[in-house]
């Protein structure tokens, strides 16, 4: 393939025109591309001269945003192998080939099919080759070329934010930096001034300014006050082409807030405040609120209120409300209208966070005058003390005065006062109080041992206004009087061994005393005066409120004396001296060699030595059980003999037996069966009589059945004889009604009025044991024959 040293005039004209219009940097890029191709030849180790190609190729340039009606012509590819006969075919591949860039396969002309945007893609790399249509082979090796998009100023500057927010302290100096805004331009910064941005302020002067190159916004006026104006809106413009006419521009808005500083002192809206308070107002009562105004905000407006030293500073207090920044006036001490009716105070309000930079503006506090008037109220009586403590001896006589309480009316009227006791605190009514002078006296005798303290409540009431009353506790302490004698602290079981030696300690005793002397207890032990010298035992006072019992002889015998009684005289040292005699029972016991007790009963000596203690206890229990059984048997026997035959309350010894079951007579065949009376077999079973207590050890004698006589009258007479001869039948004359009433009647007893048996066959002496109700009957039947006659 031949290499041409020149190109057709048409192609070179287009290319040279394009190159001449390129900036210096793009020309350098074209030279660099050609240089790179030469270097590739060097890398292959070939000759250092450049081999000329036999077809045209170069770097192409296009303007972005082409608005023409025809497609934009890029350039032409041609090889010296092309004879113009149409045998060669040009093919284009690479970035955008086929859709952005198209080639005429016959002529090699390249066109841009669409409008291009450099900001989207600024460089396209394509490859071209020529193919023989007949053989399908390349007539030249594939070659690569570049299409670069030339930039135009088609993009305006854009800020990174549509809206900026910033703040700056008020009272800041001129030139204080507020915020920096930034705008970017999508155009090529390396080509002309299309991307060179300049900042300017459109709105916000004369308060703020902006640096044209950096975009930093600064304050332009000194001492701007937040209290005068807090919010500012500044509009900043960014323009390319270095700000020249024809350049594109964009804007943004910056909202600037002046932040607060403590540059304003508090101020009271008025110089004097007036408040009123009742003299009975409790401590801590809120009387009112005051507030000093501070135009600052936040912690710069926080205030602290205080009362200056002087009149009323100890009577009232001021509390700062952190939420509302108000001062609350409160009562610090109890007020008294009668003592002072008007207080004048001075209150200060000061900032808690002053700024040292603005101290030159003056003191950051303010003062106001408070006038508080005290109003009179009807107050209850006031006692002279908060509580009373009284002491009285327990032997004081009834009606004695033990103390006095006093109260007064604090009001100017000075009403009379009466005193009384709250009976809920003195349920037993031990004390009383004089209604006029408040003297407390006793109503009953006192006893320290049962109640050492009495806590009562005294009420003082105004006579003219009973609603006004007050109470005071009174504590009454009962002082001890030595009115109890000492006595043994416990019951002592003392024993002495038969083999005890003289001078041996057998018991240590202690005593107790219900009294409580102020110097403590001190007891003394002595023998009773009637027996100053005991031959068997000795009482030794240990001088520590105890005494020891010592043996006085060698050996003791249970057979001679099993128990000793030792009287001991015990007395105290208080005034008046109280004494008592305690008797100590000392048993004589058998002991082993170590002095341990084994047996203390004298009867045990007469028992067999082979019986143990358990055997003796068992024998005693058996004997006791037998005695109990005998006593119970005798009591039961006696009870049977003395048990009344009829226990009913309606029993008046007429022996009239009533039955709730009442038949309808002989004609009433539904209520009973008359055949029962005619058939004695139905009544021959051994049933107990209802009017006689049954004898458990006595067998009821059964009568011989009278089968041969079935007459009812004869049957009744026979029964009458049997009852007269029966010892268990009632032995006294009484009227008994024998009538068959209803089914299964148990009326089988007959009256003894018609008995032919002599009275002498019966013993009626037991009637006298039945009490006064049966006295007359006992006289009739229980006396001798002459009396009965």
- 224-245 mean pLDDT: 89
Token digits of residue 642: 């003395």
Reported in sequence order, the residue ranges of 413-562 that DSSP labels E, i.e. its strands, are 417-421, 431-433, 439-442, 453-462, 469-479, 487-488, 494-497, 505-512, 523-527, 537-541, 546-551
d(CA 266, CA 295): 8
Sign of the dihedral through C-alpha 114, 117, 121, 126: positive
CA-based end-to-end distance of the chain: 196
pLDDT tops 80 at residue 658: no
- 745-756 mean pLDDT: 50
pLDDT tier at 283, thresholds 50, 70, 90: very high
pLDDT tops 60 at residue 413: yes
Query: Distances in Å between the alpha carbon of 613 and those of 589, 602, 603?
Result: 15, 14, 12
Tell how strand 143-150 and strand 60-63 pair up: parallel
- 707-726 mean pLDDT: 70
pLDDT tops 50 at residue 40: no
Is the Cβ–Cβ distance between 215 and 50 less than 8 Å?
Answer: no
Q: What secondary structure does DSSP assign to 200-216, as a single string?
A: EEEESTTTEEE-TTT-E
Token digits of residue 580: 């008592």
- 555-564 mean pLDDT: 89
- 9 or 53, which is more confident? 53
d(CA 72, CA 66): 7
Q: What is the chain's alpha carbon radius of gyration, rounded to the nearest angstrom? A: 70
Q: Quote the pLDDT of residue 211.
A: 93
Q: Quote the pLDDT of residue 606.
A: 47
Token digits of residue 764: 């009626």
pLDDT digits (tens, 9 = 90+) for 471-491: 999 999 999 888 888 999 899
Helix (H, G, I), strand (E, B) or coil at 320: strand
CA angle 514, 517, 521 (to 5 degrees): 75
Q: Quote the pLDDT of residue 548.
A: 94
Helix (H, G, I), strand (E, B) or coil at 605: helix
Q: In this structure, how many other beta carbons lie within 10 angstroms of the beta carbon of residue 230?
A: 16
The average confidence (pLDDT) of the chain is 78
Residue that the structure tokens 């390396």 belong to: 190
Strand partners, 320: 327
- 546 or 782, which is more confident? 546
Q: Quote the pLDDT of residue 421.
A: 95
Least trusted range by pLDDT, from 29-43, 227-241, 574-588, 758-772: 29-43
- 588-606 mean pLDDT: 74
Least trusted range by pLDDT, from 127-131, 309-313, 713-717, 725-729: 725-729
Q: Quote the pLDDT of residue 777.
A: 78
Q: Quote the pLDDT of residue 679.
A: 53
**DSSP state, 380?**
P
The pTM of the full predicted model, rounded to 2 decimals, is 0.41
Strand partners, 508: 548
pLDDT tops 60 at residue 44: no
Q: Quote the pLDDT of residue 638.
A: 80
- 563 or 725, which is more confident? 563
- 286-315 mean pLDDT: 90
**DSSP state, 389?**
E
Share of the chain above pLDDT 90, in %: 35
pLDDT digits (tens, 9 = 90+) for 361-410: 778 889 999 999 999 888 899 999 999 999 999 889 999 999 999 999 88
pLDDT tier at 736, thresholds 50, 70, 90: low
pLDDT digits (tens, 9 = 90+) for 127-186: 888 888 888 888 888 888 888 777 677 778 999 999 999 999 998 889 999 999 999 887
Q: Quote the pLDDT of residue 183.
A: 92
d(CA 309, CA 345): 9
Least trusted range by pLDDT, from 137-141, 196-200, 207-211, 585-589: 137-141
pLDDT tops 60 at residue 610: no
Token digits of residue 277: 């308070």
> Which one, of 241, 264, 261, 239, lies nearest residue 249 by Cα?
239
Q: Quote the pLDDT of residue 4.
A: 32
Q: What secondary structure does DSSP assign to 644-706, as a single string?
A: -S---TT--SS-----S-----TT-TTT--THHHH-GGGG-S-PPPTTSPPPTTSPPPPPPP-
pLDDT digits (tens, 9 = 90+) for 248-276: 889 999 999 999 898 889 999 999 999 99
Share of the chain above pLDDT 70, in %: 75
Q: Quote the pLDDT of residue 362.
A: 74
> Which one, of 370, 326, 330, lies nearest residue 349 by Cα?
326
pLDDT tier at 33, thresholds 50, 70, 90: very low
């Amino acid at each position: 393939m031949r290499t041409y040293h020149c190109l057709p005039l048409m192609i070179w004209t287009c290319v040279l025109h394009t190159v001449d219009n390129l900036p210096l940097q793009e020309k350098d890029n074209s030279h660099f591309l050609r240089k790179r191709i030469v270097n590739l030849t060097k890398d292959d180790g070939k000759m250092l001269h450049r081999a000329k190609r036999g077809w045209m190729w170069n770097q192409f340039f296009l303007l972005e945003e082409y608005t023409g009606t025809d497609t934009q012509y890029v350039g032409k590819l041609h090889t010296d192998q092309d004879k113009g006969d149409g045998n060669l075919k040009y093919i284009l591949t690479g970035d955008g080939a086929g859709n952005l860039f198209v080639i005429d396969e016959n002529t090699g002309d390249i066109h841009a099919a669409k409008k291009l945007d450099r900001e989207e893609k600024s460089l396209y790399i394509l490859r071209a080759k020529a193919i023989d249509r007949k053989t399908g082979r390349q007539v030249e090796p594939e070659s690569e070329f570049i299409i670069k998009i030339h930039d135009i100023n088609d993009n305006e500057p854009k800020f990174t934010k549509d809206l900026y927010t910033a703040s700056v302290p008020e009272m800041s100096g001129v030139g204080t930096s507020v915020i920096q805004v930034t705008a970017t331009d999508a155009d090529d910064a390396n080509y002309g001034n299309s991307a060179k941005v300049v900042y300017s302020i459109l709105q916000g002067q004369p308060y703020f300014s902006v640096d044209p190159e950096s975009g930093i916004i600064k304050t332009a006026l000194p001492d701007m006050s937040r209290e005068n104006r807090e919010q500012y809106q500044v509009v900043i413009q960014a323009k390319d082409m270095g700000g020249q006419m024809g350049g594109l521009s964009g804007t943004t808005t910056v909202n600037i807030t002046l932040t607060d500083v403590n540059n304003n002192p508090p101020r009271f809206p008025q110089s004097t405040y007036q408040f009123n308070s009742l003299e009975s107002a409790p401590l801590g009562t809120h009387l009112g609120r005051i507030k000093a105004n501070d135009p600052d905000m936040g912690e710069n407006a926080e205030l602290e209120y205080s009362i200056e030293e002087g009149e009323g500073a100890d009577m009232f207090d001021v509390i700062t409300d952190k939420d509302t920044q108000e001062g609350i006036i409160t009562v610090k001490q109890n007020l008294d209208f009668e003592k002072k009716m008007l207080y004048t105070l001075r209150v200060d309000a000061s900032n808690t966070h002053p700024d040292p930079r603005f101290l030159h503006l003056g003191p950051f506090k303010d003062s106001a005058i408070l006038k508080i008037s005290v109003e009179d109220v009807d107050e209850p009586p006031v006692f002279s003390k908060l509580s009373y403590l009284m002491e009285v001896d327990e032997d004081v006589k009834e009606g004695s005065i033990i103390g006095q309480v006093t109260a007064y009316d604090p009001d100017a009227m000075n009403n009379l006062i009466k005193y009384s006791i709250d009976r809920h605190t003195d349920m037993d009514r031990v004390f009383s109080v004089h209604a006029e002078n408040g003297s407390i006296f006793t109503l009953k005798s006192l006893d320290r041992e049962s109640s050492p303290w009495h806590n009562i409540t005294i009420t003082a009431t105004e006579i003219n206004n009973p609603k006004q009353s007050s109470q005071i506790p009174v504590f009454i302490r009962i002082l001890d009087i030595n009115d109890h004698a000492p006595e043994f602290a416990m019951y002592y079981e003392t024993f002495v061994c038969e083999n005890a030696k003289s001078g041996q300690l057998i018991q240590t005793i202690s005593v107790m005393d219900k009294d409580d002397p102020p110097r403590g207890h001190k007891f003394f032990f002595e023998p009773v005066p009637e027996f100053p010298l005991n031959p068997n035992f000795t009482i030794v006072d240990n001088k520590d409120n105890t005494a020891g019992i010592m043996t006085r002889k060698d050996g003791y015998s249970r057979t001679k004396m099993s128990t000793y009684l030792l009287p001991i005289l015990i007395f105290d040292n208080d005034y008046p001296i109280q004494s008592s005699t305690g008797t100590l029972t000392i048993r004589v016991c058998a002991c082993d060699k170590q002095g341990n007790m084994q047996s203390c009963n004298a009867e045990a000596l007469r028992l067999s030595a082979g019986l143990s203690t358990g055997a003796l206890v068992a024998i005693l229990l058996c004997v006791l059980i037998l005695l109990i059984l005998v006593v119970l048997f005798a009591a039961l026997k006696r009870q049977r003999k003395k048990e009344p035959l009829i226990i009913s309350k309606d029993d008046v010894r007429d022996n009239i037996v009533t039955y709730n079951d009442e038949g309808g007579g002989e004609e009433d065949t539904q209520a009973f069966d008359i055949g029962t009376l005619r058939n004695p077999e139905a009544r021959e079973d051994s049933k107990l009589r209802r009017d006689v207590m049954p004898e458990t050890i006595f067998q009821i004698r059964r009568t011989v059945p009278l089968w041969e006589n079935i007459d009812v009258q004869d049957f009744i007479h026979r029964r009458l004889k049997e009852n007269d001869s029966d010892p268990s039948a009632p032995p006294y004359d009484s009227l008994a009604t024998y009538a068959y009433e209803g089914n299964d009647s148990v009326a089988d007893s007959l009256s003894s009025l018609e008995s032919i048996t002599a009275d002498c066959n019966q013993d009626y002496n037991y009637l006298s044991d039945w009490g006064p109700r049966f006295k007359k009957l006992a006289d009739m039947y229980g006396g001798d024959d002459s009396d009965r006659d």
